[in-house]
A and B are shown apart, each in its own frame.
Chain A
Amino acid sequence: MSVSEIFSTDVSKIPLDEMDVSDPLLFQNDTIGEYFSRLRAEDPVHFTPKSRFGPYWSVTKFNDIVRVETDHKAFSSDAGIGGVAFGGIGVPTESSAMGGLEMFIAMDPPKHDIQRKVVSPIVAPSNLENLEPIIRERAAAILDSLPAGKVIDWVDLVSIELTTMTLATLFDFPWEERRKLTRWSDVVTASPGNGVDSWEQWQRELMECGMYFKELWNQRAGGEPRNDLISMLAGSPATANMPFPEFLGNIIQLIVGGNDTTRNSISGGVLALNENPAEYAKLMKDPGLIPNMVSEIIRWQTPINCMLRTAVQEADIGGKTIHKGDKVVMWYLSGNRDSEVIERADEFLIDRKNPRQHLSFGFGIHRCVGNRLAELQLRVIWEEIVKRFSKIEIVGKPVRTLHHIIHGFTRMPVVLHPR
Chain B
Amino acid sequence: MPKVTYIEASGTEHVVSVANGTTCRDAAMDNDIPGIDGDCGGACACATCHVFVDPAWLDRVGRAVEGEMEANLLQFVPDLSENSRLACQIDITDALDGLVLRLPASQH
A interface residues (Cβ-Cβ under 8 A, vs B)? 63, 66, 69-70, 72, 109, 113, 116-117, 120-121, 123-125, 341, 354, 356-358, 361, 363-365, 367, 369, 371-372
Q: Nearest residue in A to B45 (C-beta to C-beta)? A: A363
Q: How far is the CB of A177 from chain B (nearest CB, A)?
A: 31
CB-CB contacts below 8 Å: B26-52 with A: 29, 37-41, 43-48
Contacts of A120 in B (CB 8 A): 76, 78
Known contacts A113-B75, A124-B78, A372-B108; A367 and B46 CB within 8 A of each other: yes
- Does chain A have a CB within 8 A of B73? yes
Q: B44 — which chain A residues lie within 8 A by C-beta?
A: 70
A117 contacts B76, C-beta separation under 8 Å: yes
CB distance from A185 to the nearest CB of B (A): 24
Q: Determine whether the beta carbon of A364 is less than 8 Å from that of B45.
A: yes
On whether the beta carbons of B73 and A365 are closer than 8 Å, the reply is yes
CB distance from B48 to the nearest CB of A (A): 8
Residues of A within 8 Å of B105, CB to CB, are: 125
Report Cα–Cα, A116/B41, bound state, in Å: 24
In the complex, which residues of chain B have a beta carbon less than 8 angstroms from the beta carbon of A125?
A: 78, 105-106, 108
Give the interface centre of B29, B37, B43 by most chain A CB atoms within 10 Å.
Answer: B43
**Is the pair B43, A66 in contact by a Cβ cutoff of 8 Å?**
yes
Contact of A70 among B29, B69, B75 (CB under 8 A): B69
In the bound complex, residues from chain A placing their C-beta under 8 Å from that of B20 are: none
Determine if A70 and B43 form an interchain contact, defined as CB atoms under 8 angstroms apart: yes
Closest CB-CB distance, B72 to chain A, in whole Å?
5
Which residues 75-105 of B sit at the A interface, judged by CB distance below 8 A?
75-76, 78, 105
* Contact status A357-B73, CB under 8 Å: no
- What is the bound-complex CA distance between A248 and B80, given in angstroms? 30
CB distance from B61 to the nearest CB of A (A): 22
Minimum distance in angstroms from A140 CB to a CB of chain B: 24
Chain B interface SS verdict (over half) = loop
- List the A side residues contacting B41 at CB < 8 Å: 66, 341, 357
In whole angstroms, how far apart are the Cα atoms of A358 and B38 in the complex? 11
CB-CB under 8 A from A369, the residues of chain B are: 76
- Tell me the smallest distance from the CB of B60 to a CB of chain A, in Å: 27
Contact A109 B72 (CB under 8 A): yes
Interface of B with A (CB < 8 Å)?
A: 29, 37-41, 43-48, 69, 72-73, 75-76, 78, 105-106, 108
Q: Is the CB of B40 within 8 A of A66?
A: yes
- Which A residue sits closest to B73, measured CB to CB? A365
Specify which of A356, A357, A365 is in contact with B76 (CB 8 Å cutoff).
A365
Smallest CB separation, B50 vs chain A (Å): 12
* Identity of the chain B residue whose Cβ is nearest the Cβ of A367 in the assembled complex: B46
Q: Name 7 extra pairs, CB < 8 A, besides A109-B72, A125-B78.
A: A63-B43, A70-B69, A120-B78, A123-B108, A358-B39, A365-B72, A365-B73
Cβ distance B30 to chain A, nearest Cβ, rounded Å: 11
Q: Which residues of B lie under 8 Å from residue A361 when comparing CB positions?
A: 39, 46
Q: How far is the CA of A120 from the CA of B75 in the complex (A)?
A: 11
A357 and B29 CA atoms in complex are apart in Å by 12
Cα–Cα, bound, A348→B70 (Å): 32
Q: Which residues of chain A are within 8 angstroms of B46 by Cβ–Cβ distance? A: 361, 363, 367
B43 contact from A117, A121, A358, A363, Cβ within 8 A: A363
Interface centre among B47, B105, B108 (most CB of A within 10 A): B108
Residues of B within 8 A of A358 (CB): 39
What are 24 A-B contacts with C-beta separation under 8 Å? A66-B40, A66-B41, A69-B45, A70-B43, A70-B44, A72-B72, A113-B76, A116-B76, A117-B75, A120-B76, A125-B78, A125-B105, A354-B29, A357-B39, A358-B39, A361-B39, A363-B40, A363-B45, A363-B46, A365-B72, A367-B45, A367-B46, A367-B47, A371-B108
8 closest residue pairs by CB, A with B:
A363-B45, A124-B78, A356-B39, A125-B106, A70-B45, A66-B45, A357-B41, A66-B43
A364 to B37, CA, bound (A): 16
On chain A, the residues within 8 Å of B108 by CB distance are 123-125, 371-372
**Whole-angstrom CA separation of A372 from B43 in the bound complex:** 20
Residues of B within 8 A of A121 (CB): 78
Chain A nearest CB: distance from B70 CB in Å? 11
Contacts of B37 in A (CB 8 A): 356
Residues of A near B78 (CB, < 8 A) are 120-121, 124-125
Complex contacts, A367 vs chain B, CB 8 Å: 45-47
Report the bound CA distance from A357 to B43 in whole Å: 11
Residues of B within 8 A of A354 (CB): 29
Select the residue from B38, B39, B48 with max chain A CB neighbours within 10 A: B39
**Contact partners of A357 in chain B: CB under 8 A:** 39-41
A56 to B73, CA, bound (A): 28
Q: Which residues of A contact B75 (CB under 8 A)?
A: 113, 117
